[in-house]
Structure 1
Amino acid sequence: MTASGRLRVRHPDLDAELDDVPRHFMAGGDLVSSHLIAVMSAIFPPGEDYFVRAVERVRDRVTDPDLAADVAAFVAQEDEHGEQHRRLNRVLAERGEPIDAVERYVAWVAGLADRHLSPMANLAITAALEHHTAVVAEILLGDPEARARFGHPGPLHLLCWHALEETEHKAVAFDVYRQLGGSERTRVRAMWAMNVGFALEIGAWTTIATLADPATWRHPVRALRSLWRLRTSPFLSRRLFRRLADYHRRGFHPDDVDSTALVAHWRAELFGDDGAIEVRTAS
């Protein structure tokens, strides 16, 4: 889905929608899924910063002009993702979510990787996590049931825009890794490590956030029902795990799944003449 000229840097105006987001913003005030998405949003700013650093370290070695243009757009898109999630995160922190603790933890882990792993290893991790985000994005944009899980338009519009751009640039870090001669073995090993580490990180912080919520203890039956509903979430479906597993296949490329129609639809849905999101500027 990435070729020079296909990536657009947008600056969505979501302030009004994000200002009044409640703590339990998922449909029906769902407790656990609200905390899960809040944790994901907290992870994004330091995570996006790490992705940018991983690509920037090797940027001067990218010789293909089309890929170099995509790298520049990738960096700009990721920077904007971090800024928009920080807006949501400030609101969620005011509501009682452990945003600061999650951000500090992720920044600490990313710093360890920066200091102790090679540039190519960090790039392999970035490519693996970009596949994670692209698969989740594909589910959010492609499955109405996934979007119906949201009860407030602010987080939904933010994540749909984020998902669109993750789909647009899903192959950039991968293509840089491949052009610089990254090995298949390291690529696959990085994905195995991220499958385990990311799941543990999300699970642990969602548990902490849920247990720290007074509503969990005031309404234990509601909390248990919320936990039970996760089993039917599109974001924990067999489809997600199958798509993640594709990455382990020798010769895999993110563009093996054609996202052209999905991207075209959501560009119009979000940013067309009657689109759901206003933009401050666009390039």
Structure 2
Amino acid sequence: MPLDRRLNAFRDDLADKALDGLVNAARFVEGGPARVGLPVVGLRAKPDAAAGIDTELLLGEAVTVFDRAGGWAWVKAGSDGYVGYLPETALSVDAPAPTHHVIVPRTFVYPGADLRFPVAATLSMGSRIAVTGEAETRGTRYFLLADGRAVVANHCLPLGIYATDDFVAIASRFLETPYLWGGRSGFGIDCSGLVQLALQMTGRTAPRDSDMQAAGLGAEIAREELRRGDLVFWKGHAGIMADEHTLLHANGHTMTVALEGFEAAVERIGWLYQYPTGYRRPVL
């Protein structure tokens, strides 16, 4: 079986040293560590800004860098192993190790500890930040970052601590978020990105794409067993059961994250993606 290029870093001229003996390449390298230094950045299959994004990486997430050329970096994401290209300017090699993560769909970064300051950046749920101190202004508590900027403290928790273990509740917080092919943030998200991010924000791991999730995420179940928190897969699509009769999914029909009657969704989706290919229950 050929190796999946989405999860294995190999080209004719260069490959991950871990693949030595498995693929042919002119040379093999171990790669070096870096972190994402922008709020969100697209990861592409080619070093070309005109190429569509496969997925997105968020501020503070770790990557392994195998190559830098022409303003692009070829990387492997630490969170899910996805391989692709992102602009070199999106990377930081000397950023302090993150201590906290953002637990709300979106939050603002301010130049200092005051919500009246002009917004300096906007972060998505799942972003990772390095907190160096705290401050309070007019009763609002802020976390201070290494560069002196600030975020609202109750929008964040220490890494490894999660607001809830209910990933359906997390996914529901993205209702009406715009659909974005390859999206994985509070600014725009796709079907499998919603599944992955919601699970990650409860401390669980999940593959990135719907075919990967359908192949091995959790345990396979029968349609008659569907309940809240189960996953439904089509060829090229994934959704979360909000309850026994309702599907929660990021979809190209409404172009949002939306709730839809499950049986109605099956009929509507059927003309394009056929009928569901499988049902799975995440390990909770």
Relative to its length, the structure with more helix (as a share) is 1
TM range (shorter): under 0.3
Q: Which has the higher contact order (CA 8 A, sep 6+)?
A: 1
Q: TM-score, normalised by structure 2?
A: 0.24
- TM-score, normalised with respect to structure 1: 0.24
Structure with the greater alpha carbon radius of gyration: 2
Q: Which has the higher strand share?
A: 2
